[in-house]
Amino acid sequence: MSLPSLPLADDDRHDILVEGEAALTERQQAETRFWLQVLKVHRLIFDDLNSALLSGAGLSIAKFDVLAQLYRFRDGLSMSELSTNLKVTNGNVSGLIARLQKDGYVTKTVAPGDRRSFRAAITKEGLAVFQKALLLHRGETARKLRNIPLHEIERMASGLKHFSEEIIDSETESAKAAE
Claim: this prediction has a pTM higher than 0.85: no
Tell me the pLDDT tens digit for each residue of 65-79.
999 999 999 999 999
Q: Is 14 exposed, middle or buried (0-12, 13-18, 19+ CB in 10 A)?
A: middle
- The pLDDT value recorded for residue 63 is 97
User: What pLDDT sits at residue 12?
Assistant: 55
- pLDDT confidence band for 2 (50 / 70 / 90): very low
Please indicate whether residue 37 or residue 12 has the higher confidence score (pLDDT): 37
16 pLDDT tier (thresholds 50, 70, 90): low
End-to-end CA separation in angstroms for the chain: 43
Confidence of residue 176 (pLDDT cuts 50, 70, 90): confident
For residue 115, what pLDDT is reported? 77
Q: Which of 18-22, 41-45, 81-85, 148-152 has the lowest mean pLDDT?
A: 18-22
| Dist. CA 127–CA 100, nearest whole Å | 12
Q: Which residue has the higher pLDDT, 5 or 139?
A: 139
